[in-house]
């Protein structure tokens, strides 16, 4: 009996996980959802805990299997919600296995995903279809629904990252784990640490931590009113990097926490044994002036340099809670390549500095509160970004229409969405086909096709993954979209491959800009 129990515990069945998720889905109270998930996680062994968290947080790596491949595997060819489609197509057919031993386990599913990731090149599509087919034959319709969502990354389980973090904290008797998560960066790793009782919230070399982010602010005046005396740094328009150095080993990570060491060749002269420093890589034109972000990303041979603005770890010391000003002093010891800055509480001086930054071709200024800690993963008001002109938005493409005429080969009319924090979902705020080159339309078409989740007439709905920077003339109130807002004359100004949907702007920010449009207009008429 004992032996059976041990065996049973090690090989957790996929069906058990799916049952729990269904239970969560049917529960309305957030607190109850947390309790159900926590009770489930608490009893898992380490392997299952890691795998389960990876599965439910949609963190299983890129399988490169599209909606179309799954549709083929279940013998269907046209579109609707992938999970429901698979579930319906299998319901009615009896699952082919009956003995418990033959049911698919979580481990087995993860092994299959790992194998699918290795399949590339000629014949791989057929092989993938065959493997998915034989897997589906062994699944109940509900399990197949879940697996189809895992594969396409369409994981709407009603389980946000926030809820999962709370459930982990509750399962293992920890307090608030949100801060630990921003430093650890990986939610399954966080769960393992919580289970083992070792929660290290210090940065670790070669494990990127979520970057600290800035809120918007309209003017240096507003920034000084809010912060008092503050540091004003140039806001550079480039690619943010987190550089990890240990002796001769150096790696660079993007703000999406991916390793981009080989992507950009820049001189990194850090005078320390080990450190984690943050900076921005910019491209320089022949006249030495910074080039636009798009050019930096497109032209491999452009001259590049990195300018540092923060340091969060130095020779074994965690600097996260050290005030900004002291961190900056340490950074000055470590590198000569720093972002220009002044410290002032005089709005005229700050305004002058802003003008200089813009004249030199930079985006604006970043105001930083002198005694602020480094808040990993948090967009707070310790850093305020000041950009002259109407601020661009980072939006996520959630769907696209096939174009007309010359653009008919491309998915080229994009639905742009902002994140609604209250609903935990992306909501459309505009649509545009403006701003991309033919080459970019081509690339976007294959990118979007690979993350498609549903087709409806000429529209392909996709997993929210692609972030674009969008300029517009005005934000209007509009009943056209559920969000209640619509951007007037939206156009894409950059494809932000360096940003993840988590970096997207929010509906509440759009509401703020919308309201500010009026406060800045004349009230006299």
- Element housing 444 (H / E): helix 438-450
Minimum CB separation of residue 210 from ligand AMP in Å reads 11
CA 318 to chain centroid, in Å, comes to 25
Q: Which is nearer to ligand AMP, 236 or 277 (CB)?
A: 236
* Active-site residue, selected from the candidate residues 54, 128, 195, 235: 235
The full length of the chain comes to 525
Closest Cα partner for 215 from 450, 379, 57, 5? Answer: 379
On whether the CB atoms of residues 107 and 52 are closer than 8 A, the answer is no
Q: Distance (Å, rounded) from C-alpha 234 to C-alpha 355?
A: 10
Minimum CB separation of residue 27 from ligand AMP in Å reads 35
Minimum CB separation of residue 498 from ligand AMP in Å reads 8
On whether the CB atoms of residues 420 and 395 are closer than 8 A, the answer is no
Minimum CB separation of residue 309 from ligand AMP in Å reads 4
Applying CB under 6 A, the residues found at the interface with ligand AMP are 211, 213-214, 233-236, 240, 255, 280, 309, 339, 366, 385
Q: Which is nearer to ligand AMP, 252 or 366 (CB)?
A: 366
54 three-state secondary structure: helix
Q: Is 72 annotated as catalytic?
A: no
Q: Which is nearer to ligand AMP, 157 or 384 (CB)?
A: 384
Please give the structure tokens belonging to residue 190: 């966080």
Strand partners, 250: 245
Strand partners, 396: 417, 467
Minimum CB separation of residue 419 from ligand AMP in Å reads 13
Enter the DSSP assignment of 263.
Answer: T
Minimum CB separation of residue 362 from ligand AMP in Å reads 8
Give the strand pairing for 341-344 and 213-217. Answer: unpaired
Q: Distance (Å, rounded) from C-alpha 497 to C-alpha 494?
A: 9
Q: Which is nearer to ligand AMP, 179 or 385 (CB)?
A: 385
Minimum CB separation of residue 167 from ligand AMP in Å reads 29
On whether the CB atoms of residues 282 and 273 are closer than 8 A, the answer is no
Give the strand pairing for 274-284 and 239-246. Answer: antiparallel
Strand partners, 242: 253, 278
Minimum CB separation of residue 455 from ligand AMP in Å reads 32
Q: Distance (Å, rounded) from C-alpha 301 to C-alpha 63?
A: 31
287 three-state secondary structure: coil
Q: Distance (Å, rounded) from C-alpha 257 to C-alpha 278?
A: 12
Q: Distance (Å, rounded) from C-alpha 52 to C-alpha 44?
A: 9
Q: Distance (Å, rounded) from C-alpha 509 to C-alpha 134?
A: 47
The residue whose Cβ lies closest to ligand AMP is 240
Strand partners, 495: 468
Minimum CB separation of residue 492 from ligand AMP in Å reads 15
Q: Distance (Å, rounded) from C-alpha 294 to C-alpha 471?
A: 14
Q: Distance (Å, rounded) from C-alpha 181 to C-alpha 165?
A: 8
Closest Cα partner for 393 from 427, 354, 361? Answer: 427
Q: Distance (Å, rounded) from C-alpha 185 to C-alpha 257?
A: 8
**Residues noted as catalytic:** 235
């Amino acid at each position: 009996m004992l032996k059976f129990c041990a065996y049973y515990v090690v090989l957790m069945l996929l069906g058990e996980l799916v049952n729990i998720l269904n239970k969560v889905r049917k529960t309305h109270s957030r607190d109850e959802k947390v309790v159900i998930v926590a009770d489930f996680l608490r009893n898992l062994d380490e392997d299952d805990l890691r795998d389960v968290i990876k599965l439910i947080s949609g963190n299983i790596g890129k399988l490169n299997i599209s909606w179309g491949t799954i549709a083929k595997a279940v013998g269907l060819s046209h579109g609707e919600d992938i999970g429901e489609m698979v579930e319906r197509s299998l319901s009615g057919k009896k699952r082919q296995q009956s003995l418990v031993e033959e049911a698919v386990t979580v481990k087995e599913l993860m092994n299959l995903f790992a194998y699918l990731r290795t399949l590339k090149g000629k014949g791989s599509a057929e092989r993938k279809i065959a493997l998915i087919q034989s897997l589906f034959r062994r699944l109940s319709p509900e399990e197949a629904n879940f697996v189809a969502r895992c594969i396409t990354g369409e994981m709407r389980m009603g389980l946000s990252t926030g809820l999962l973090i709370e459930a982990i904290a509750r399962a293992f008797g920890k307090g608030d784990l949100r801060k630990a998560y921003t430093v650890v960066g990986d939610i399954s790793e966080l769960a393992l640490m919580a289970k083992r009782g070792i929660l290290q919230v210090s940065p670790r070399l070669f494990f990127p931590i979520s970057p600290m982010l800035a809120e918007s602010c309209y003017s240096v005046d507003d920034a000084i009113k809010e912060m008092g005396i503050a540091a004003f740094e140039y806001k550079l328009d480039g690619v943010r990097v987190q550089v990890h150095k240990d002796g001769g080993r150096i790696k660079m990570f993007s703000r999406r926490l991916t390793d981009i060491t080989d992507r950009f060749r820049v001189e990194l002269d850090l005078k320390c044994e080990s450190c984690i420093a943050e900076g921005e890589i910019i491209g320089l034109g022949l006249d030495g002036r910074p080039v636009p972000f798009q050019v930096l990303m497109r032209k491999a041979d452009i001259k590049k340099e990195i300018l540092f603005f923060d340091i969060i770890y130095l020779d074994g010391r965690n600097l996260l809670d050290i005030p900004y000003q002291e961190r900056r002093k340490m950074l000055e010891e470590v590198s000569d390549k720093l972002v220009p800055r002044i410290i002032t509480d005089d709005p005229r001086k700050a305004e002058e500095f802003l003008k200089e930054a813009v004249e030199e071709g930079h985006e604006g200024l970043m105001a930083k509160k002198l005694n602020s800690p480094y808040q990993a993963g948090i967009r707070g008001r310790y850093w305020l970004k000041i950009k002259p002109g109407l601020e661009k938005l980072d939006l996520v493409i959630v769907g696209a229409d096939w174009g007309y005429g010359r653009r008919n080969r491309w998915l080229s009319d994009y639905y742009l969405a902002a994140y609604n924090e209250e609903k935990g979902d992306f909501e459309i705020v505009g649509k545009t086909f403006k701003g991309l080159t033919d080459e970019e339309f081509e690339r976007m078409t294959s990118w979007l096709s690979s993350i498609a989740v549903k087709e409806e007439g000429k529209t392909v709905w996709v997993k929210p993954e692609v972030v674009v920077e969008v300029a517009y003339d005005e934000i209007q109130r509009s009943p056209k979209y559920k969000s209640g807002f619509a951007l007037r004359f939206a156009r894409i100004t950059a494809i932000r491959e360096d940003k993840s949907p988590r970096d997207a702007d929010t509906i509440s920010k759009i509401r703020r800009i919308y309201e500010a449009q009026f406060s800045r207009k004349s009230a006299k008429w």
